[in-house]
Structure 1
Amino acid sequence: MFTFFWMTLLFFLWGSTKNTVESALGRPICSGGYCITLNEGEITTEAGLCVVIPCFFTMADGFTPKAIVWFKCEPWRRRCGDSDVVFHTNHDKVPSEFLGRVLLLDPDVSQGNCSIMINDLNTSDSGSYQLRVNGFYQGMADGLTFPSRTSLSVKGLYQRPTVMVPPLTEGQQATLTCTAPGLCSGSPPTITWMWRGKTEDYHVTGSTSALKTDNLTAVTQRHSSTLTFKPSAKHHNTNVICKVSFPGNITTEESVSLNISSDHEKHVSVFGVLPWVIAGVSLCVHVFCMIYIWHLWNTRKKKKLTEDQTYVSLQKRDTSSEYDVIVQRPR
């Protein structure tokens, strides 16, 4: 978290005032007109990745800074010596194990930015880091080693690659993407794809892309690789592995299980549901017909009852003599 936070902070605050940056890092420590602002507390990071040690300084009036020197030594030592140099503006004074791995983020020393990035980290990079600024004071060569230090702790790599898997269908070409952890400008990692069998892992025989590097900023990069293949039934429920190897034999991997669907399964699924759909429709039609018949029957019955009641009513109201004669006539 420290790595990503400080990298983001420095890249986006370079154009801001130094007071803003200093307040984010902590209060500057000053003595005799010389001030330095370092990260408060221990910076924790992981082997194989990179880290930024944020740093800003100001010099006394009359001092012109010309070179930046960083040392690394044990915390209990009062002062780091020349044998502990890990970065020097004059590169020929840097030991081979640090040369090219430690970068000054702002080459213009006059800006007071002494922040460095360390790439290809290993656990031996843990230690106490101390700054010295060389230059001229009132025309004479001079330099100052700041007593304040920052502490770096490099742990084992626990971050894993990120593997993106799209929906997979049997016979349809698909592309998987693996992105290495970290945003570093050091040695690019090696990314390999493997299938995980029951007893051993074996390399993928499909089409894998070469390592792709995206330059996010002047000093940060993202590394990725792709695997393109046509899934088949044999790939279903198998595991594919993306393995990322950093310098120093530092490796990390991510395994994902593949779920392969097929057109046959879709057809079976459709045909499996179809009988239930037909049965449901048939039931609805039957219920509708029964309700309709019941409605017709009730309507007809009510109509007949109404007609009978009308006839009886008419009979009772007809009192004509003709009717009486006809009714009383003997047979």
Structure 2
Amino acid sequence: MATRETVCRHHRIRMFVLIWGILLSSGASVWGERHCQTGNFCITLSEADITAEAGLCVVIPCSFTTDKSFTPQHIVWYNKCESSTKCIDANIIFNTNKLNTEVQSLFKGRVSLLEPDVSQRNCSIIINDLTESDSGGYQLRVIQGETKGFTFTRKTTVTVKGLTQKPSVMIPPLTEGQPTTLTCTAPGLCSGSDPKFTWTWRGAGEKDSQITGNITALKTEDLTAVTQRHSSTLTFNPSAEHHNNNVTCEVSFKNNITAEETVTLNVTYLKKLVITGVTTVKDGDDLNLTCSVESFPPSVITWTKHGSIRNLTKETKIILDNNTGTATLTIRNVTVDYSGLYVCKAKLQIPTLSTHAEVNVTFLPRIFSTSGCVVQSEVLTCVCISEGFPLPTIKWPLLDAHTEYSVTTNFSNHAVNLSITVTLKDRNYTTVECISSNDIGEVKENLNVTRKVLKQYDQHGPCEVLLWIGVAAVSLIVNVICIILMMFLWHSRKKVKPNQEDRTYMSIKKTEVSSDYDVIAQPLN
């Protein structure tokens, strides 16, 4: 028994919460008060008028008690009775007895009991698709069997006004390029006719037009047996063009009753960076570069110089104009050291964009002191090294007087190295003029000529001279050794005595009388 009472108590609590939820969502206002008539026939109805809005629904909270001998089987509700004791069938708006068809046609299908079990003595009803003509007094009658019934004289008054509630539009965070869904929920938690949803949007200075996207015309969520939540969704791909556009959700109820809500889209986006300004400036002038970016919310813009750790914060002036942010970089009295790559970065939450500009500082050419000329063996060689921007060109007026010469040119950054070689013929130069020029101007420099005389051995080169010295030294040593050896042999020969076996004699003998003689050489016995 205790368990059944606990279940009933919980049921009554849930019903009470449900009734008040519907009342609050429909715009109705009510507070109940118990009134008793005969015996235990008591009814609890709203003491004050119940207000509601057209197109929505209204809940008439109601509960009753009867004598123990009376068991209610059906419930009947009346509207606009002539008097509290005189209600006729023409005034019936709801009857739980389905066999009784005496129900006003305008109320058919619009009225429901919140608690279908009459034995629970909960007589609360919900009326959907309200119109202002539904305003008036409502009375309850409970019936037992075929004929026995009891009509409560206490009335509750309902006042229906024009619709003022608006749909609710839920907008999640919008980011360009990321598909998103907007949700429009109709006012009220009514279970009457399904409303119709229409989405429109308007850009700045434009007329209303249909939104391009995937629209769910209607979505119905059953909260309870008599309450529903109606909504529509719009899925589209937001872009920067959608930012600050107005989106309208219109909800149309029965009997041409409409409500709408307009919201403004805030799309997070970051467009392309643009750098404006003159990137080629003269030495000593000011450098002004402006980096612009359109974004929402405004981006953080910074300037840096590639390859440099120098902070350019002091030289940067940031200006924000609505959704367009600019950062102007100003450097006074620039020199060639300021040439290089300047990078602009715009940071918006996670994404970061960057762009760059190549800055060139123009300056008048200058000729380096390492330039000069040398004459060697009647050959003149001159080198002129000059730096400037734009890159300078070098001229040698000397070459106008010569037809045979050679020229060599090398480039490095903003410097040019040009050398010439000329064979001199009966000409003697003490200086040679070098002219360097670019778009900024021209400079001239007379280069001194240095004469270089080679020594004799220099004609062969140091290696060849050393070779000849070595050959001469070896030859001298060999000659000295030969002379010493010959003197030694000569001196030794004078000390040797002749032996007999070493002697040789010669005799001349005449064998015939002739004018010729034979010479015979033979050893003596």
Query: Deviations along 1:20-62, whole A, 9 cap, x unmatched?
Result: xxxx722332323311111111111111111110111112232
Partner of residue 147 from structure 2, selected from 137, 141, 145:
141
Paired amino acid for 1:241:
T
Deviations 1:133-171 (A, max 9, x none): 1114xxx83111111000001111101111111222222
Q: Which segments of 5 or more consecutive residues in structure 1 lack a partner in the other structure?
A: 1-5, 14-23, 283-331
Q: How far apart, in 1, do the equivalents of 2:189 and 2:130 lie?
A: 13
Partner of 2:225: 218
Q: Select the structure that is richer in strand.
A: 2
Query: Match for residue 21 of structure 1?
Result: none
AA aligned opposite 2:119: S
Whether 1:192 aligns to 2:192 is no
State TM-score, norm by structure 2.
0.46
Q: Decide whether aligned partners of structure 1 residues 112 and 231 sit closer, same or farther in structure 2, where only a CA change above 3 A counts.
A: same
Greater percentage in helix:
1
Q: What is aligned with 2:160?
A: 154
1:125 partnered with 2:158: no
Distance 1:74 1:247 in 2: 26
For the 8 Å contact 1:180–1:244, the answer to whether it is kept is yes
In the alignment, what sits opposite 1:255?
262
Match for residue 77 of structure 2 among 70, 80, 94 = 70
Tell me how far apart the structure 2 counterparts of residues 163 and 75 of structure 1 sit (CA, whole Å).
44
Of residues 151, 166, 169, the one that matches 1:163 is 169
Give distance in 2, aligned partners of 1:271 and 1:64. 77
Unpaired stretches in structure 2, ≥5 consecutive residues: 1-12, 21-30, 274-291, 316-525
1:49-88 deviation digits (Å, cap 9, x = unpaired): 1111011111223222111110000687763321111001
Structure 1's 234 and 281: CA in aligned 2 closer, same or farther, altered over 3 A? Answer: closer
How far apart are the structure 1 equivalents of 2:82 and 2:237?
56
Q: 1:177 aligns with which of 183, 196, 220?
A: 183
Question: In 2, distance between residues paired with 1:261 and 1:47?
Answer: 39
Letter in 2 for 1:83: A
Distance 2:39 2:256 in 1: 46
C-alpha separation between the residues in 2 aligned to 1:232 and 1:88? Answer: 56
Q: What letter corresponds to residue 270 of structure 2 in structure 1?
A: D
Number of matched pairs: 264
**Match for 1:278 among 290, 308, 311?**
311
Deviations 1:232-254 (A, max 9, x none): 23322221100001111110000
Identity among equivalent pairs (%): 54
Distance in 1 separating the partners of 2:90 and 2:56: 25
Compare relative contact order (CA 8 Å, sep 6+) and give the higher one, 1 or 2: 1
CA contact (8 A) 1:75 1:127 kept: no
Tell me how far 1:116 sits from its aligned partner. 0.6
Q: Distance in 1 between matches of 2:51 and 2:300?
A: 58
TM-score, with normalisation over the residues of structure 1? 0.72
| RMSD after superposition | 2.9
Identify which of 121, 132, 143 aligns with 1:112: 121
Separation of aligned partners in 1, 2:44 and 2:117: 17
Whether contact under 8 Å (2:90, 2:102) holds in the other structure is no
Q: Which amino acid aligns with 1:90?
A: N
- Structure 2 counterpart of 1:237: 244
> 1:209 aligned to 2:225?
no
C-alpha deviation, 1:280, in angstroms:
4.6
Aligned counterpart in structure 2 of residue 56 of structure 1, from 55, 59, 63:
63
Which structure has the bigger radius of gyration?
2
SS at match of 1:11: helix
